[in-house]
Amino acid sequence: MLDYVLRIRDLIHGTILFTEKEMLLINHPFFQRLRQIKQNDVAFYVYPSMHISRFEHVLGVCRIAGMMAETLTKSPKWDDYKRALKTETGLSRSDEGIKRDFVQLCRFYALLHDIGHFPLSHLFEHAMEQWLGPDYSQKIVEWTGFEGFEKPHEAFGATLTRRLIRDIKIPKDMGDCLLRLMGEKDLPQSNPLHIAKSVIDAEIDADRIDFVQRDGLAAGGEYGNYDVRRLCDSVFIEQLGDNWLIAFSEKAITSMEALLHDRYRTYTWVQFHHKTVEMKALVRFLIQNLLEVGLVTKEHFNFENAKEFSLKDDVWLWSMMRGMKSDDKFVKMVQGAVFYREKKYVLNLWKTRPDYHRLQDWVAAATLNPSAKVEATDQYAIHLNKEMKKANVMALVFDFGFFKPVESDPRKPEKHTRLYSEPKKRLTGETLLQASKLVAHLPVIRSHEPQYFVILVGHNARMRSKRLEQRWIDSTSYWIDNPPSPTLFP
């Protein structure tokens, strides 16, 4: 369907083919920067093979997105859809041309979807959020020029896309579509471009299909064993009222279950492994300090100088953290723990699921309300750090309650994966959540895992583990029994 001029060998997908315009995009300095931005920030401290870059990941997503897009052009609803797509976008008027343009659009979007990532990916964003607090959303607009995004990399990606469209001379109609896909976080379902959006950004999508398998292999091969081809061959375009959506064949339920189950497992045992989280918290603290003292600023990410900007990657950020001079004793201890493995400074209050529940039970027993649960809010982190510093210890709270193994909120039906009957050539009326007991129980299983970690930093923190553990229990139970006034915190 497309004319390919470039071959790249990939660990997961074998040979991946790329068009001439895709080759120009891949060779651009903005895109080459992704070679030195890790997909999983500091997970290599625990899993030594996890040196996956955003570069190789987006090449794989392009491959998956192209396969899915080609399948979508064979949907019974394709003729209705292509008319709507032509009207909305002005893409090719011929039947073969619109198929080709649709597949190319999905592949371009796949290549660009991570282009805006800052060094160390989401960890940099977490540090920014900690540093800025309530001003976070405002700063995203100031740094990127785009509104409506909760994550800087998404907004920055829209900004970079505008420049890339110009540099590699993507045709106007195609470029306008890409700007809408990259520049609008919540594209209306009534817009036919929502189909292309869903290929990369949905509950079952090319992004997840690639990274779960890639991460699983890099972590030792225990995760990521599902039928990629089956998933790519099982997608259909459907319409519900005025809304366009992607549905998956009910014949592929087992493959979808395997994908979502392994995504849950990689998050729980790789990204949220207790040692990975410990390193995330320590490195986030160092990045936050770089931001606070002005050693890393918006000006470092001025993309007008493409060559200079292309060097603002993980290598640059690690060098900034290594070279940071500070009189703060906690900064020095964290640098020692991160760069020289000086473990005596760091105490992770719990490591396993039983440890977490045991300590949570002790907190509950010390409160006036034994059924109370701790939520790791910013206010709680401020309170805990203030209390723990009385013991000459800094507390770092790392919350990952944001992770959802599957969208289960009935108020968000547009986020649920709908099932398709191939024999009847229509929606079954069920979602994957309704049809699969395994998928439906993933949120329940997740709720029993630790929802946050508390990492303490101080001289001989490990030697003082029992005393510090008791101080944490006292401080947390006090917090529960004496909730702060809403007026105390912005």
Q: How far apart are the first and last CA of the chain?
A: 55
Q: Which residues neighbour 280 within 8 Å (Cβ) at sequence distance 6 or greater?
A: 41, 42, 123, 126, 398
Q: Are strands 452-457 and 426-431 parallel, antiparallel or unpaired?
A: unpaired
pLDDT at residue 351 tops 80: yes
Q: Are strands 243-249 and 346-348 parallel, antiparallel or unpaired?
A: unpaired
For residue 247, list its beta bridge partners.
Answer: 236, 418
What are the backbone angles phi and psi of residue 475, rounded to the nearest 5°?
A: -65, -40
**Are 415 and 203 contacting, i.e. CB atoms less than 8 angstroms apart?**
yes
For 207-240, letters b (16+ CB in 10 Å) and e give bbbbbbbbbbbbbeeebbebebebbbbbbbbbbe
pLDDT at 135: 82
pLDDT at residue 185 tops 90: no
Minimum mean pLDDT range among 164-173, 326-335, 372-381: 372-381
pLDDT at residue 244 tops 70: yes
Determine the Cα–Cα distance for residues 425 and 490; give it in Å rounded to an integer: 53
Q: Which of 207, 245, 209, 201 is nearest to 407 (CA)?
A: 201
Q: 35-84: per-residue pLDDT in tens? A: 999 999 999 999 999 999 999 999 999 999 999 999 999 999 999 999 99
Max intra-chain CA distance, the chain: 74
Determine the Cα–Cα distance for residues 124 and 150; give it in Å rounded to an integer: 14
Q: Mapping DSSP to helix (H, G, I), strand (E, B) and coil, where does residue 453 land?
A: strand
pLDDT at 261: 97
Determine the Cα–Cα distance for residues 339 and 52; give it in Å rounded to an integer: 21
The domain ranges of the chain are 4-273
Q: What angle do CA 478, 480, 482 make, to 5 degrees?
A: 65
For residue 456, list its beta bridge partners.
Answer: 347, 395
Q: 430-441: per-residue pLDDT in tens? A: 999 999 999 999
Run of H or E including 138: helix 136-144
Q: Average of pLDDT values for 316-328?
A: 97
pLDDT at residue 446 tops 80: yes
Confidence of residue 490 (pLDDT cuts 50, 70, 90): very low
Q: Which residues neighbour 226 within 8 Å (Cβ) at sequence distance 6 or greater?
A: 212, 213, 255, 258, 259, 262
Determine the Cα–Cα distance for residues 369 and 479; give it in Å rounded to an integer: 12
**Are 420 and 238 contacting, i.e. CB atoms less than 8 angstroms apart?**
yes
Q: Which of 215, 247, 214, 211 is nearest to 231 (CA)?
A: 247
For 278-300, letters b (16+ CB in 10 Å) and e give bbbbbbbbbbbbbbeeeebeeeb
Q: Mapping DSSP to helix (H, G, I), strand (E, B) and coil, where does residue 485 land?
A: coil
Sign of CA dihedral 93, 97, 99, 100: negative
| Encoded tokens for 486 | 């809403």
Number of residues assigned to the chain = 490
The CATH class of the 4-273 domain is mainly alpha
pLDDT at 488: 47
Q: Mapping DSSP to helix (H, G, I), strand (E, B) and coil, where does residue 38 land?
A: strand
Determine the Cα–Cα distance for residues 23 and 394; give it in Å rounded to an integer: 48
Query: 304: number of CA atoms within 13 Å, CB side?
Result: 3
pLDDT at 146: 81
Residue whose pair of structure tokens reads 């068009």 in the numeric block: 19
pLDDT at residue 149 tops 90: no
Q: 78-120: per-residue pLDDT in tens? A: 999 999 999 999 898 788 999 999 999 999 999 999 999 999 9
Run of H or E including 418: strand 418-421
Determine the Cα–Cα distance for residues 44 and 61; give it in Å rounded to an integer: 22
Percent of the chain with pLDDT over 90: 87
pLDDT at 486: 57
What are the backbone angles phi and psi of residue 73, rounded to the nearest 5°?
A: -70, -10
